Structure 1
Amino acid sequence: MSIIAWLVVGLVAGWIANMIMSSGRGGLITDLVIGILGAIVGGFLLGLVTKTDYTTGINVPTILVAIGGAIVLLALYRLATGRRILRNGRY
């Protein structure tokens, strides 16, 4: 997959993962970095388990794998930095 495709998938995955995790506060750079890393980690791990390549371009399976990886990395990031998910406007 080209670097442009990684950036697009990473940005979309990071933004969606941030919305799923209920904060909506992440910056563009944080979303992009976590999304790209999530795409890489998610694609690599799922590829090891299923013996298939999910990083073949911008398509639904690639974005779903990237979102899953980004959610895991976002949760680990928040655990490491002490950030919590907003619930009803409060921490």
Structure 2
Amino acid sequence: MGILSWIILGLIAGWLAKFIMPMRNVGLIMTIILGIVGAVVGGYISTFFGWGGSVTGFNLYSLIVAVLGSLLVIFIYRQIKK
């Protein structure tokens, strides 16, 4: 996946995760960063547990993995921010 694809997938995953687990005072750039980090974390965890390949492109599996990873990253971000 190219860098532009990672940014777009990160934006979508970050926005969906932010919709599920609302955060205040977090802008677009931070949403993208949390989404990209979440996609990487989700891909690593899914590969570690043998649930298939990592995030490979724009498909439903990649989006679900990225959103779940983003939710985990948002949870950790909230805990650190306290």
**Normalised TM-score (structure 2):** 0.90
- Pick the structure with more helix per residue: 2
Report whether the alignment pairs 1:21 with 2:31.
no
- Percent sequence identity over matched residues? 35
For structure 1, list consecutive stretches of 5 or more residues without a partner in the other structure: 83-91
Cα RMSD between the aligned structures? 1.4
Rounded Cα–Cα distance in structure 1 between residues aligned with 2:24 and 2:18: 6
- Structure 2 unpaired stretches of 5+: none
Instruction: State the one-letter code of the partner of 2:43.
Output: G
Question: Which aligned runs of 4 or more in structure 1 are off by greater than 4 angstroms?
Answer: none
2:54 pairs with 1:54: yes
Between structure 1 and structure 2, the one with the greater Rg is 1
Are the aligned partners of 1:14 and 1:70 in contact in 2 as well (CA < 8 Å)? yes
